[in-house]
């Protein structure tokens, strides 16, 4: 059973990698809706999380990032590598370990600020971006800009959590048999009536951000 579960884990990670890479290619070649395609690439990385595979999500992120750098170039791939790619990985681990809001929110905010800074400084802005940041220095304007980036990113992260819950509900019949804990219960417990258990824990039906005790993802 473990070998079979690992096979499905690798398969769904591969599907997530392919779809995420498709979003990156569309972002690069289509001259409009670039942020939407980057967000789509992040949503595709959520597929391994539907079968409780944070490892698969991480591997899909690394594989997609490497392929993106090879296909569209390292500079063009920066928004994915620095921002949209790591978001589902961090979100998955925060949900799994039920990270409290006073831990998860600052962590995601700081990562978003550094990611935005790296993208801003390197992606198509060159010397102009460096000069702007040099003029701001440690002035209040820089702190306000960083705060705006963090708030916007946390809003995006909450939206992605909602998308993950929606996908889990819609695909529950398909993914239920591939979740490790489901297989363990089938072996050791008598059959029971179907429950509303999803990727976030038993009975988690409401749309809550991470940090809530109900938002638990089972071990791999």
Sorted by where each begins, the domain ranges of the chain are: 2-186
Predicted confidence band of residue 220 (pLDDT cuts 50, 70, 90) = very low
Given phi > 0 = left and psi -120 to 50 = alpha, else beta, which region is 212?
beta
Q: What is the DSSP string of 82-151?
A: IIITHHHHHHHHHHHTT--HHHHHHHHHHHHHHHHHHHHHHSS-HHHHHHHHHHHTTSHHHHHHHHHHHH
The dotted CATH code for 2-186 is 1.10.1760
Name the pLDDT band for 116 (thresholds 50, 70, 90): confident
The mean of the pLDDT values for the chain is 79
Rounded to whole angstroms, the Cα distance separating 160 from 86 reads 12
Query: What pLDDT score was predicted for residue 10?
Result: 87
Q: 45 falls in which pLDDT band (50, 70, 90)?
A: very high
Return the ∠ at Cα 91 (arms to 3 and 2), rounded to 5°. Answer: 10
CA–CA distance, 125 with 196 (Å, rounded to integer):
48
Secondary structure of residue 198 in the 3-state scheme: strand
Q: What is the mean pLDDT of residues 68-84?
A: 92
Whether the pLDDT of residue 36 is over 60: the answer is: yes
Residue 46 has pLDDT above 90, yes or no: yes
Q: Do residues 95 and 217 lie in contact, with contact meaning Cβ atoms separated by under 8 Å?
A: yes
List the single range of 90-104, 113-127, 154-168 with lowest mean pLDDT. Answer: 113-127
Element (H, E) at 11: helix 2-29
**217 or 72, greater pLDDT:** 72
What confidence tier does 27 reach under pLDDT thresholds 50, 70, 90?
very high
Q: How far apart are CA 84 and CA 39, in angstroms?
A: 6
Contacts (Cβ under 8 Å, ≥6 apart) of 61: 20, 45, 85, 86, 88, 89
Q: Which residues pair with 201 in a beta bridge?
A: 198
Comparing 92 with 197, the larger pLDDT belongs to 92
Q: Are 12 and 54 in contact (CB under 8 A)?
A: no
Which pLDDT value is given to residue 28? 94
């Amino acid at each position: 059973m473990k070998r079979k579960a690992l096979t499905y884990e690798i398969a769904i990670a591969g599907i997530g990698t392919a779809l995420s890479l498709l979003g990156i290619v569309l972002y690069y070649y289509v001259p409009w809706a670039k942020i939407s395609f980057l967000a789509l690439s992040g949503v595709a990385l959520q597929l391994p999380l539907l079968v409780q595979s944070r490892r698969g999500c991480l591997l899909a992120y690394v594989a997609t990032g490497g392929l993106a750098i090879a296909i569209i170039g390292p500079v063009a791939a920066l928004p994915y590598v620095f921002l949209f790619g790591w978001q589902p990985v961090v979100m998955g681990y925060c949900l799994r370990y039920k990270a409290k809001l006073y831990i998860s929110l600052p962590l995601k905010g700081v990562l978003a600020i550094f990611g935005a800074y790296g993208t801003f400084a390197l992606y198509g802005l060159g010397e102009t971006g460096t000069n702007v940041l040099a003029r701001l220095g440690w002035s209040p304007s820089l702190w306000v800009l960083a705060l705006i980036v963090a708030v916007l990113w946390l809003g995006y992260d909450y939206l992605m959590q909602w998308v993950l819950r929606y996908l889990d509900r819609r695909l529950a019949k398909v993914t239920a048999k591939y979740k490790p804990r489901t297989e363990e219960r089938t072996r050791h417990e008598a059959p029971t009536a179907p429950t509303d258990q999803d990727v976030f824990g038993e009975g988690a039906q409401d749309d809550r951000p991470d940090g809530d005790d109900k938002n638990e993802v089972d071990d791999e």
